[in-house]
């Protein structure tokens, strides 16, 4: 299969994109690294971010942790609600493994880990026995006593992106990696690849495993039989790097490689941005949405998130995905005139982006652009065109 030969470019795209800006509304948190639900019913969304641990409710983020630290790994023990975290203190260095028994307000040091102090970028706790904790720092480390002492496990799958512990088998562990989806039955000593498309995240929830598989979207399996079922595959060019599932399983929140949050209120069957994108207001924007949905959405995706990754796209050399036009890619680097020209004349590189001049008028094209701008952030609107090269504009001066 050709897939593997194309993975380096895919890996590059994840790495490059994750350094792009967050959604404007969440800018003050710095990059979000990890998600979890907390509270008795597990309805409060926790964000592990560059400036600390935040709760996110009614589209407002509030700092929960009294200590400010860059939260990298984050894991919550499902039964007791104990929160474990690891990352970097503001003065630099690593925090070691931290623990909070009050929902993330106060953290205390559990241990420095092996070769520490560690910054576990990945943390996983077994729901079968909460004393079993896994952390990734210079390889996989395993603890059997709640994080006090640690031993090294076997080699991890290469290009690991996310680790999750089984809810039903003490020694079973799942790994999402750019090289596939892996399972270990012996606490990470050895691994078996069970899916070969890139897997960008995995979480376990009440006996089920959720994973994001590039080309297949969000999938779920019961841990008892590991038969995958597709939940949703219209994420466009977004992949989920983390996922949190609420206590009742109704609400899912995902973190894209662009640092943006996505939310589903119906078990993953449909998704919107979090906070939701503003609705079109003016006649021009509303007309533009109609034109977009009728002519462009089939390729550029729902709310212009881009053409969804497909196995075909990943295995065909030179395949050009229809880019996101929602402000997350470089569409906003062009002026209105340049965008109109692309829409009217098509792309010189591929007939896949056809010329629309036989079908649409220039006014239609401008209306479509007006709609697309409702999906852009403040920065994209302010610095459209040449402004994208202007540091002052980008920094908001």
From 51-59, 91-99, 226-234, 345-353, span contacting ligand HEC (CB under 6 A): 345-353
By CB under 6 A, name the one of 240, 244, 255, 353 that touches ligand HEC.
Answer: 353
Long-range Cβ contact pairs of 161-164 (< 8 A, separation 24 or more)? 161/199, 161/200, 161/201, 161/241, 162/122, 162/199, 162/200, 162/201, 162/202, 162/203, 162/241, 162/242, 163/122, 163/123, 163/124, 163/134, 163/136, 163/202, 164/124, 164/202, 164/203, 164/204, 164/209
How many Å apart are CA 11 and CA 253, to the nearest integer?
A: 23
Closest CA to 160 of 133, 184, 131: 184
Helix then strand then coil, in percent of the chain rounded to 5, is 20, 30, 50
* 244 touches ligand HEC (CB under 6 A): no
- Identified binder of ligand HEC from the candidate list 99, 205, 258, 300, rule CB under 6 A: 300
The span of 20-28, 31-39, 149-157, 292-300 binding ligand HEC (CB under 6 A) equals 292-300
Structure tokens at 211: 């994973």
Question: Does residue 169 interact with ligand HEC by CB under 6 A?
Answer: no
Q: Which is nearer to ligand HEC, 76 or 300 (CB)?
A: 300
CB of 360 to ligand HEC, least distance (A): 6
Furthest-apart CA atoms within the chain: distance in Å? 69
Provide the minimum distance between the beta carbon of 215 and ligand HEC in the complex, in angstroms, as a whole number.
17
Site for ligand HEC in 272-291 (CB under 6 A): none
The angle subtended at Cα 217 by Cα 54 and Cα 141, nearest 5°, is: 55
In terms of CB distance, is 191 or 356 closer to ligand HEC? 356
Does 356 interact with ligand HEC (rule: CB under 6 A)? Answer: yes
> Residue written as tokens 């630290």?
69
Q: Is 350 in the site for ligand HEC (CB under 6 A)?
A: yes
Name the one range near ligand HEC by CB under 6 A: 17-25, 31-39, 173-181, 295-303: 295-303
Note whether 147 and 97 are within 8 A (CB): yes
Q: How far is the CB of 346 from ligand HEC (least distance, A)?
A: 8
Q: Which long-range contacts (CB under 8 A, 24 or more apart) does 271-278 make?
A: 271/232, 271/234, 271/235, 272/303, 273/23, 273/303, 274/56, 274/59, 275/23, 275/25, 275/59, 277/303, 277/326, 277/374, 277/375, 278/374
User: If phi over 0 gives left and psi between -120 and 50 gives alpha, with beta otherwise, what is residue 215?
Assistant: left
Among 248, 352, 361, 378, binds ligand HEC (CB under 6 A): 352
Q: To which H or E segment does residue 344 belong?
A: helix 336-345
Per-residue binding letters, 310-339, with ligand HEC (x by CB under 6 A): ----------x-xx-x---xxx--x----x
CB of 58 to ligand HEC, least distance (A): 34
In whole angstroms, the minimum distance from the beta carbon of 326 to ligand HEC comes to 11
Judged by CB under 6 A, does residue 309 bind ligand HEC? no
Smallest separation, CB 20 to ligand HEC (Å): 14
Among 140, 231, 261, 296, binds ligand HEC (CB under 6 A): 296
Nearest distance from C-beta of residue 67 to ligand HEC, angstroms: 42
Least CB distance to ligand HEC at residue 322 (A): 4
Site for ligand HEC in 366-385 (CB under 6 A): 368
CA-to-CA dists, residue 200 to 197, 210, 262, angstroms: 10, 11, 15
Q: How far is the CB of 115 from ligand HEC (least distance, A)?
A: 44
By C-beta, is 162 or 300 nearer to ligand HEC? 300
Q: Give the count of residues interacting with ligand HEC (CB under 6 A).
A: 23
Q: Considering the rule CB under 6 A, would residue 299 count as an interface residue with ligand HEC? A: yes
Q: Which residues form the interface with ligand HEC (CB under 6 A)?
A: 295-296, 298-300, 320, 322-323, 325, 329-331, 334, 339, 342-343, 347, 349-350, 352-353, 356, 368
């Amino acid at each position: 299969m050709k897939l593997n030969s194309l993975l380096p470019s895919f890996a590059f795209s994840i790495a490059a994109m994750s350094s792009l800006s967050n959604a404007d509304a969440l800018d003050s948190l710095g990059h979000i690294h990890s998600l979890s639900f907390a509270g008795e019913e597990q309805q409060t969304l926790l964000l592990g971010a560059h400036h600390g641990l935040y709760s996110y409710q009614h589209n407002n983020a509030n700092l929960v942790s009294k200590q400010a630290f860059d939260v990298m790994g984050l894991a919550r023990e499902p039964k007791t609600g104990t929160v474990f975290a690891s990352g970097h203190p503001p003065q630099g260095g690593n925090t070691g493994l931290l623990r909070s028994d009050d929902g993330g307000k106060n953290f205390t040091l559990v241990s420095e880990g092996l070769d520490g102090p560690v910054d576990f970028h990945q943390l996983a706790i077994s729901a079968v026995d909460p004393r079993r904790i896994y952390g990734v720092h210079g390889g996989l480390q395993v603890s059997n006593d709640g994080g006090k002492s640690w031993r090294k496990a076997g080699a991890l799958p290469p290009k690991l992106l996310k680790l999750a512990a089984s809810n039903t088998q003490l020694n079973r562990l799942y790994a999402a990696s750019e090289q596939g989806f892996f399972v270990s039955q012996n606490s990470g000593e050895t691994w078996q690849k069970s899916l070969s498309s890139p897997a960008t995240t995995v979480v376990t929830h009440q006996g089920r495993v959720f994973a994001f598989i590039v080309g297949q979207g969000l999938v779920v399996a019961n841990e008892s039989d590991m038969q995958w079922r597709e939940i949703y595959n219209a994420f466009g060019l977004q992949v989920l790097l983390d996922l949190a599932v609420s206590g009742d399983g109704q609400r899912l929140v995902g973190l894209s490689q662009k640092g943006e949050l996505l939310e589903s209120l119906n078990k993953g069957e449909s998704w919107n941005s979090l906070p939701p994108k503003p609705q079109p207001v003016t006649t021009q924007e509303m007309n533009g949405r109609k034109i977009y949905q009728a002519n462009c959405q089939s390729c550029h995706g729902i709310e212009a998130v881009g053409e969804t990754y497909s196995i075909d796209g990943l295995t065909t050399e030179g395949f050009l995905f229809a880019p996101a036009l929602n402000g997350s890619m470089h569409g906003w680097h062009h002026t209105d005139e340049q965008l109109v020209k692309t829409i009217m004349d098509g792309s010189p590189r591929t007939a896949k982006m056809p010329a629309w001049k036989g079908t649409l008028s220039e006014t239609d094209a401008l209306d479509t652009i007006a709609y697309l701008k409702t999906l852009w952030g403040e920065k994209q609107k302010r610095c459209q065109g040449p402004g994208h090269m202007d540091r002052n504009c980008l920094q908001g001066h």
